[in-house]
Amino acid sequence: MWQIQFTQEEIAQLTYESVHHPHAIVRRRMLALRLKAQGLAHKEIGATLGIGQNTLREYFDAFEVGRVESLKQLKYKGKPNRLMEKKGEIIPMLEANPPATYKEAQAKIKAQTGLQRSLPQVREFLKKTGFSVVK
């Protein structure tokens, strides 16, 4: 069992962040360390939070290295945006024959690239690239 020493300030910060942090994963990490500070056994913490012992050890290791701030770091980078990767191909095609609607833009993008995307994704892509449909 890890012997982690917590300061009162860290316990207060863990308590606050376990409720108020905007990201659910960070809140869970904070809660795990808060429960550890209260003296709960690792199995109880894992069962309470629905996480495995390896995940719990990762939280403890991260806390040992960088204290509370290291628990706030998220390593997820997301998926690459395939529409942005093909931007150089899509935008000239749309500029040559501007679509009247987002649905038409969606169909043209699918025909040109083979990428089927939802209307909100197409709308967001066009907004990011500064392209607007003809109305």
pLDDT in tens, 5-31: 899 999 999 999 999 999 999 999 999
Tell me which residue range forms the domain holding 114: 82-129
Looking at residue 75, its pLDDT comes to: 81
Torsion sign (Cα): 32, 36, 42, 43: negative
**Pair (58, 87) in one structural domain:** no
pTM: 0.59
Residue 58 in domain: yes
Residue 21, phi-psi category: left (phi > 0), alpha (psi -120 to 50), beta (remainder): beta
d(CA 60, CA 33): 7
pLDDT in tens, 47-63: 999 999 999 999 999 99
How many structural domains does the chain have?
2
d(CA 94, CA 1): 61
Residue 115 in domain: yes
Residue 135 in domain: no
Q: Are the C-beta atoms of residues 34 and 82 closer than 8 Å to each other?
A: no
